[in-house]
């Protein structure tokens, strides 16, 4: 499946579209599906335009690469105002490729106890500059990947990890694709979380305003909720395999509100104002 990477501009656009100053209307009018589609299309278009930022706007910045000195099993990232991509690649050690001013340090990168810590310290980079920080991992199963990233876009691609966690972040566009994990968890104030081609024991996603998009996911336990927006997409398997509990306070629900199956698989979806539009691939 083609990976669509959203840029920093997407997070800004998401904030403008989904911020508390203009939320989805509650009770008076159900959010329209066409509006949600328009939001998603606008985010993707804006991301594509931002990706073409000219070299001139990067004046004063240099490309830098950090290579881990020892084997890494855990990764902790604290980012802001950035575009971040984490992926496996043909490397022997974890590599971090980023940009910063030539004579200053805007990242603090450290290692210890098999953990790589990456902390942004952006004080001198122009907030309008758009570039992607890329973390390339040797192919193996990791213990954990933890991310906190306000006003950012985050893509985690083709990674195996016991735990992948996006801590509470504001105005974030998050993409998990091609993951294999025991637990994936994301908590986002405003934005969009897309999960595709992923196998997990548990998927736990919570959004205040925005969209949870699931595509070809195979998960034993789903727990997803959106206050204003939608949960949508296609799940691998059949509805009869799951103990289902779903609810929409104001809006439309295309799944059964309750269906019981004697087994361990569970699906719990809740939307406050909006829509649940999810189907099973069979």
Residue-wise pLDDT tens digits, 19-53: 444 444 444 445 555 555 555 555 554 454 444 33
**Distance from C-alpha of 205 to C-alpha of 226, rounded to nearest angstrom:** 8
Q: Cβ neighbours of residue 276 under 8 Å, at least 6 residues apart?
A: 230, 231, 232, 246, 248, 251, 252, 253, 254, 255, 269
* Phi, psi for 161 (deg, rounded to 5): -155, 145
User: In this structure, are residues 83 and 132 in contact, taking their beta carbons and an 8 Å threshold?
Assistant: yes
Residue-wise pLDDT tens digits, 220-243: 999 999 999 999 999 999 888 999
Q: Where are the beta strands (DSSP E) in 129-265?
A: 132-137, 141-150, 152-157, 160-169, 172-177, 180-235, 243-253, 258-259
Q: How far is CA 93 from the centre of its chain?
A: 24
**Distance from C-alpha of 241 to C-alpha of 218, rounded to nearest angstrom:** 12
pLDDT tens, the chain, 282 aa long: 444 444 434 444 444 444 444 444 444 445 555 555 555 555 554 454 444 334 434 457 788 899 999 999 999 999 888 899 999 999 999 999 988 877 777 789 999 999 999 998 765 555 555 678 999 999 999 999 999 999 899 999 999 999 999 998 999 999 999 999 999 999 999 999 999 999 999 999 999 999 999 999 999 999 999 999 999 999 999 888 999 999 999 999 999 999 887 778 999 999 999 999 999 997
Q: What's this model's pTM, rounded to 2 decimal places?
A: 0.80
The reported pLDDT for the residue numbered 166 is 95
């Amino acid at each position: 499946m083609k990976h669509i990477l959203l840029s920093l501009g997407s997070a800004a656009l998401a904030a403008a579209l989904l911020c508390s100053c203009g939320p989805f209307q509650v009770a008076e009018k159900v959010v329209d599906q066409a509006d949600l589609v328009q939001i998603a299309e606008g985010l993707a278009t804006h991301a594509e335009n931002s990706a073409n930022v000219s070299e001139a706007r990067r004046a004063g910045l240099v490309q830098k690469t950090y290579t881990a000195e020892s084997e890494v099993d855990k990764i902790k990232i604290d980012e802001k105002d950035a575009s971040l991509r984490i992926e496996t690649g043909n490397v022997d050690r974890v590599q971090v490729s980023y940009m910063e001013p030539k004579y200053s340090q805007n990242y603090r990168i450290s290692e210890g106890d098999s953990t790589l810590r990456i902390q942004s310290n952006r004080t001198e980079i122009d907030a309008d500059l758009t570039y992607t920080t890329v973390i390339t991992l040797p192919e193996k199963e990791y213990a954990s990947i933890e991310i906190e990233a306000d006003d950012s876009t985050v893509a985690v691609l083709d990674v195996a990890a016991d735990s992948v966690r996006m801590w509470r972040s504001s105005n974030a566009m998050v993409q998990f694709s091609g993951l294999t994990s025991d637990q994936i968890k994301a908590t986002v104030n405003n934005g969009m979380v897309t999960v595709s081609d992923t196998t997990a024991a548990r998927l736990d996603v919570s959004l205040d305003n925005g969209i949870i998009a699931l595509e070809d996911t195979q998960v034993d336990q789903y727990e997803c909720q959106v206050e204003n927006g939608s949960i949508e997409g296609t799940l691998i398997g059949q509805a009869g395999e799951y103990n289902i509990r779903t609810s929409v306070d104001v809006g439309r629900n295309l799944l059964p509100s309750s269906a019981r199956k004697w087994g361990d698989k569970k699906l719990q979806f809740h939307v406050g104002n909006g829509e649940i539009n999810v189907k099973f691939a069979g």
